[in-house]
Structure 1
Amino acid sequence: MADRKKRSKNANLRVFMTILVVVATISVMIKLNRNFSFTVKVPLKFQNLSEDQILKSASTNTVEVTGKASGYDYFKYRFFSQDFPIDLSQLSRNKNRSYYVFNDENDALKGSLSGSEITSFEPDTVFFDLDRNFDKKIPVVPKYSITFAPGYGSLAGFKIKPDSITIRGPQTEVDTISQIFTEELKFQDVRNSKADSINLTFGKDIPLVNLAPGRVAYTLAVDKFTEGNVSVPLQLINVPSNVTAKVFPKRVNVIFNVNLSNYEQVKSSDFKVVVDFNEIDSLSTSLTPQVLEAPEYVRDIRLSESTVQYLLVK
C-alpha cells in the first residue's frame, strides 16, 4: 500500500513539473516575440583597401548600436554576433582625413538583426589614417659566426639567396630602412656543407612594413684543405729608366691552403709576385714582395720571404 501511494505521488510530481516547464516555455516564447530595445557592441570589419594604400590606424574598432528588435532575433544574435563591414574604397574625405559616417536609415546589422530598427550608433563616425604604400629594395645582411674543424674550410664562404628583398609600407617608415638582417646563426667545428633557409628581421617591430620574401636560403660549401707551396720568380716593376735593378733572392716560395680537389691544379705560373720600386725607401736596402695574382681556389697565402734585398746599378 505504501509503495502504491509513493508511486502515485511521484507520478503527480512529474506531471506538475512537465506542466510548469511547458508554461514557462510558452511564456518565454511570448516575450521573445515582442519587440524591445537593445544595445550591442559590434566589431568593425575593414575591407576593400586599395593595393597602393595602407591602413595605419582607425579611431575605433567597434561601434555600439542601439535599436529595436524582437527578443527572439536578439537572443539569436547574442549567440551568433557578426561584424559590421566598412568599405574603405568608399570613404568620405575632408582635407587630410578619411572618415565613415553611420546612417541610422541606410546602415543595417547582419544576421538575425538584419531587419531591426536602428536608432543610434556610438560613435557615429569612424576616422581613418591612410597612407600610400611604397616599395623599396634593400640588401640582406647575413649575421653568422663560423669555426671550422682543423683542416676544413670554405672557398665560397657563407652565401644567401636572394641577397636583397623588396619591402612595402608607408613612405615615412620605408625611408628609414636601409637594410634587413638574417637571424643570427652560429656554426662550430664545421666539417660538412650546410644548406637551409632562415628568417629575416629588422631587429625591431615595424608592423606596417611588409617584406617579400620573409626568408632567404643560405649555403655553406665545406671542403677538406691542405697546405701547398710553389716556387715563383719575382717580377720587378716601376724600375727607374736609368738603372738596372737586381733583387736577392730572385725567387720566393708561395705558401697557401687549397682544397684537396684543386690541389693538383696549382702551378707556379698561376701566381704573380712583384717587387715595386716605387716603394723604395732611401733609408733601406730592402723591399716587400707582393702577391698580385693567385688562383681563386687558394687562400691564406703567405710568402717564404717577407722582404728581399735590392741593388740598383747605373
Structure 2
Amino acid sequence: MLNKLRSKLLESIRNKKLNVFGFFLLLSFLFLIIGKLSGKYTETVAFNVSFDKVPENKVLLEKKKQKINAVISSNGFNLLPLIFFNRPVKIDFESDLYYNEDHYSWIASKSSHKIKSMLGQKVEMLSVKPDTLNFYFETLDTKKVPIKLDANISYTVGYDVLEKLVVEPDSVTVIGPENIVNGIMELSTEPLALKDVNASFTMPISIKIPKMDGVLKLSTPKVTVSSEVVKFTEGAIEVPVTMINVPKSLTLNYFPKAVTVLYYVPLNRFNEIKASDFKVVCDYKEIAETEKNTMTPKLTSVPEAAKSTRIKQNKVEFIVVK
C-alpha cells in the first residue's frame, strides 16, 4: 500500500501543468495520504548488506549482492523513511559470521537484534528472511616489502639536504594471490622530480601498483617523503698526516706533514669544525712490498656535520731515513 502511495505522490509532483482545480485535487490527495499514513501497515523491506571489520587478507568472491528481507509493522509515518531511505545492514565479520567448512554464514536468529535497532522502538519486526545467508571469502597472501623512492631532486646552489630523504612508512604490506605476492621483492613510488629546491619539504607520493592479473591491495596507497634542506658552505682546513704500520726498524721522513681537507657543511655549523675532528692516515703496509716513494693519504675520521669531504693532495712523498 505504501509503495502505491509513494508512486502516486511522485507522479503528481512531476506534472507541471497543475491548474487551480488540480491544486485542490492535489491538496485533497495529500490529506488522503496523511490519513492513510496514520494507519498501521505491514510491509516487507529489503536491506542491502555491507561488511565491517573484514581482515585485509579476505576478499568476498560473490559479485551479486545479497539482501535481507524484513517483515515489519508500524504506522505509515514510521515506515515511509525506511522505504525511501533504506540503510544497509552492517555485518561484523568478527562477531556476526560463523565459519562453516568453506564459507561464512550469517544467521538471522543470532543477529536480528541489529536490524531491530535500525528500525527504532516504534517499528515492530515480525520476521526476517532468509534465516541464513552464506558468504564465500578468498584468503589472500600477505607480504611486507620495502619502498624504493624514485626521486630526481636538484637543489639551488648553496643548498643541500641535511640528511638523507625520509620515506614513511618505509615498507608496506602487499595483499593478493600467493603466486603474485611471492614475486614482489620491493615496490617503487611514482617518479618525484623537483628542481632548484631551497627549503625543507614534506609531500605525499603514490606507490606504483604492479599491473598484473588478480586482486592486489596495499596496506597504504601512498607514502610521505620529507627532507630537511639547509644552506651549505664549503670549508678548507689543514689536517696533520699520520703514518701507520711503519716497522719499528724504519724511520720515515715525509712531505707534506699536513694536507688540505675540503668539506661541505651547514652554514650554521661552520664554526664547529676543527682540525682535530678529522684524521688523515698513510698506510705503509700498502707500499711495503713495492719500490714506490709515495703514499696515498686517506680520511679515516670526519665530523658528523661535514659531508662531501675530500683531500686536496692525492700523494705524500717519503724517504726512508737509516
TM range, smaller chain: 0.5 to 0.7
How far apart are the structure 2 equivalents of 1:69 and 1:200? 53
SS of the equivalent of 1:242 reads coil
User: Is 2:70 the counterpart of 1:63?
Assistant: no
Once the two structures are superposed, residues 233-258 of structure 1 have per-residue CA deviations (whole angstroms, 9 ceiling, x without a partner) of 22111113433333333332222333
Is structure 2 residue 273 aligned with structure 1 residue 269?
no
Which of 76, 92, 100 pairs up with 1:94?
Answer: 100
Q: Secondary structure at the match of 1:222?
A: strand
Partner of 2:8: none
- In 2, Cα distance between equivalents of 1:27 and 1:258: 82
- Pick closer, same or farther for the CA change 1:278–1:92 going to 2, 3 Å: same
Provide closer, same or farther for how the CA distance between residues 61 and 241 of structure 1 changes in structure 2, counting only shifts above 3 A: farther
Structure 2 counterpart SS, 1:204: coil
Question: Secondary structure at the residue paired with 1:261?
Answer: helix
* CA drift at 1:93: 2.5
Q: Which residue of 1 is the match for residue 208 of structure 2?
A: 203
Superimposed CA distance per residue, residues 81-120 of structure 1 (whole angstroms, 9 cap, x where no aligned partner): 23334454143332353212457xx797864996576695
CA–CA distance in structure 1, aligned partners of residues 282 and 245 of structure 2: 9
Distance of 2:304 and 2:27 partners within structure 1 = 91
Which one-letter code corresponds to 2:66 in the other structure? T
1:126 equivalent to 2:144? Answer: no
SS at match of 2:247: coil
Match of 1:194 in 2: 200
1:230 pairs with 2:233: no
**Does 2:87 match 1:79?**
no
CA distance in 2, matches of 1:231, 1:24: 98
Q: Does 1:43 align with 2:48?
A: yes
Q: Distance in 2 between matches of 1:267 and 1:16?
A: 97
CA distance in 2, matches of 1:287, 1:85: 77
Moved more, 21-30 or 73-82: 21-30
Preserved CA contact (<8 Å) 2:175 2:216: no
Alignment partner of 1:311 is 2:319: yes
Match of 2:4 in 1: none
Equivalent positions of 1:88-237 (< 5 A) are: 88=93, 89-102=95-108, 111=119, 115=124, 121=130, 125-129=133-137, 144-154=151-161, 156-160=162-166, 185-191=192-198, 193-195=199-201, 197-199=202-204, 201-204=206-209, 210=219, 216=224, 218-226=226-234, 228-237=235-244
Q: Given the superposition, is the C-alpha separation of residues 76 and 265 from structure 1 closer, same or farther in structure 2, using an over 3 Å criterion? A: closer
Shift of 1:291: 1.0
Determine if the alignment matches structure 1 residue 293 to structure 2 residue 296.
no
Change beyond 3 A, Cα 1:301–1:87: closer
TM-score by length of 1: 0.63
1:263 aligned counterpart, secondary structure: helix
SS at match of 1:240: coil
> What does the per-residue CA deviation read over 1:234-293, in whole Å, with 9 as the maximum and x for residues that have no partner?
211111343333333333222233344343443333321111112115264322110112
Percent identity of equivalent pairs: 20
Task: For 1:124 and 1:160, locate their aligned partners in 2 and report how far apart those are by CA, in whole Å.
Answer: 51
Retained in 2: the 8 A contact 1:181–1:200? Answer: no
Within the candidate set 257, 260, 277, 1:253 is matched to 260
The 1:168–1:252 alpha-carbon spacing in structure 2 relative to 1, beyond 3 Å, is: closer
Q: Which runs of 5+ in 2 are unaligned?
A: 1-18
Stretch moving more, 18-27 or 265-274? 18-27
What is the rounded CA distance, in whole Å, between the counterparts of 1:180 and 1:251 in structure 2? 48
- CA 1:117–1:284: 2 relative to 1, 3 Å: same
Which structure carries more strand by proportion?
Answer: 1
Name the Cα RMSD after superposition: 5.3
Give the AA of the match of 1:62. Q
- 5+ long unaligned stretches in structure 1: 1-12
Once the two structures are superposed, what CA deviation does each residue of 1:128-165 show, in whole Å capped at 9, x if it has no partner? Answer: 538699997x87665543322223334x2245486658
For 1:285 and 1:53, the matched residues in 2 are separated by 67
Aligned residues: 290
